């Protein structure tokens, strides 16, 4: 795995913002657009804030960037747990992105309908019923090795054809919708952001390349080495 260990959350956030800027320039100059899928969780917050800060806000050509989401809680968009709200509050509300370029996972009346509507929206945007190719996907990893809303032992890991699926959680009112492994593995670039002591045990397995790590959902993301960048802070790396 291609891993960069940096001092702290601030450093990995800066690196992620630099990668975002670099790739956005490359894609916009060659394809006239840059299509990204964002994650929620706590780790990307600082990265998102940096995107909305003066330096990056002014350097990025927002009008050609499209935003999708990796996963979403089944909550209204104003809800504290909404992944859309996290991105909106931290940077989307501060940069000149076109409203029509924001393709959030819209909560409909059920997780199934929400997932199938999101799938349709991707098919329309990408103009294919096959797998979309995101230029960049931002992912995180939970302490249990989950990524997106793909959890160990879940049937969702076996999904081969659908682009987005509902994820029913044990906790009431916490169902989600997530992109599937085939979509994540079809991205052109993936950046994983991992920070904090609580991740150290799982990161150790990844860094050692243990077979065990391949069984975690995050270990099932297998793009070519050059196209996947893990950004890990020292605490998560256990050093
Ligand atoms: C979410 C995510 C999820 C997240 C991990 C890591 O919406 O919660 O997409 O997969 O990336 O749980 O979360 P932290 O960054 O909070 O550790």
Predicted confidence at residue 226, as pLDDT, reads: 85
Q: What is the mean pLDDT of residues 23-31?
A: 98
DSSP state of 29: H
Among the listed residues 194, 163, 157, 165, the one whose alpha carbon sits nearest the alpha carbon of residue 74: 165
pLDDT in tens, 117-153: 999 999 999 999 999 999 999 999 999 999 999 999 9
Instruction: Tell me the C-alpha distance between 158 and 161, whole Å.
Output: 9
0.85 surpassed by pTM: yes
Q: Which ligand 1 atom is at minimum distance from the Cα of 193? A: 15
Residue pair 128/186 in contact by the 8 Å Cβ criterion: no
pLDDT in tens, 175-234: 999 999 999 999 999 999 999 999 999 999 888 876 666 689 999 998 887 899 999 999
Q: Which ligand 1 atom is at minimum distance from the Cα of 195? A: 17
Instruction: Tell me the C-alpha distance between 210 and 191, whole Å.
Output: 21
Residue pair 234/11 in contact by the 8 Å Cβ criterion: no
Is the pLDDT score of 19 beyond 80? yes
Predicted confidence at residue 161, as pLDDT, reads: 96
Q: Locate 149 and state its tokens.
A: 């809303």
Name the residue of 16, 39, 45 to mutate for ligand 1: max ligand atoms within 8 A of Cβ: 39
Please give the biggest Cα pair distance in the chain. Answer: 46
Predicted confidence at residue 213, as pLDDT, reads: 65
Residue, of 65 and 172, whose pLDDT is higher: 65
Predicted confidence at residue 94, as pLDDT, reads: 98
* Lowest mean per-residue pLDDT among 38-42, 63-67, 106-110, 222-226: 222-226
Beta bridge partners of 230: 3, 192
Residues with Cβ within 6 A of ligand 1? 39-43, 70-71, 83, 140-142, 146-148
Q: Which ligand 1 atom is at minimum distance from the Cα of 146? A: 10
Is the pLDDT score of 173 beyond 80? no
Q: Locate 42 and state its tokens.
A: 């706590």
Name the residue of 48, 142, 152 to mutate for ligand 1: max ligand atoms within 8 A of Cβ: 142
DSSP state of 150: B
Q: HSE (CB half, 13 Å, CA atoms) of 12?
A: 28
Q: Rg for the chain (alpha carbons), in Å?
A: 17
Is the pLDDT score of 172 beyond 80? no
Predicted confidence at residue 26, as pLDDT, reads: 98
Place of tokens 């329309």: 124
pLDDT in tens, 43-59: 999 999 999 999 999 99
Instruction: Tell me the C-alpha distance between 239 and 222, whole Å.
Output: 25
Distance (Å) from CA 147 to ligand 1 centroid: 7
Beta bridge partners of 177: 72, 166
Distance (Å) from CA 122 to ligand 1 centroid: 22
């Amino acid at each position: 795995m291609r891993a960069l260990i940096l001092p702290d959350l601030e450093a990995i956030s800066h690196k992620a913002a630099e990668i975002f800027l670099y790739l956005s320039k490359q894609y916009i100059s060659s394809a006239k657009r840059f299509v990204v899928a964002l994650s929620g969780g706590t780790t990307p917050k600082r990265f998102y804030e940096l995107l909305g800060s003066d330096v990056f806000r002014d350097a990025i050509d927002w009008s050609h960037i499209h935003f999708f989401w990796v996963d979403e809680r089944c909550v209204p968009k104003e809800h504290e747990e909404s992944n859309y709200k996290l991105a909106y509050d931290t940077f989307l509300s501060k940069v000149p992105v076109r409203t029509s370029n924001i393709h959030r996972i819209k909560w409909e009346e059920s997780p199934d309908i929400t997932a199938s509507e999101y799938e349709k929206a991707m098919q329309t945007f990408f103009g294919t019923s096959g797998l979309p190719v995101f230029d960049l996907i931002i992912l995180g990893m939970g302490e249990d090795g989950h990524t997106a809303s793909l959890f160990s032992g879940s049937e969702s890991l076996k999904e081969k054809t659908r682009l987005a699926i509902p994820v029913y959680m044990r906790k009431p009112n916490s169902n989600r919708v997530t992109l599937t492994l085939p979509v994540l593995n079809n991205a052109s670039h993936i950046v994983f952001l991992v920070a904090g002591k609580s991740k150290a045990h799982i990161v150790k397995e990844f860094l050692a390349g243990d077979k065990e790590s391949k069984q975690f959902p995050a270990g099932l993301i297998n793009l070519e080495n050059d196209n996947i960048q893990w950004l890990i802070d020292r605490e998560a790396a256990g050093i």
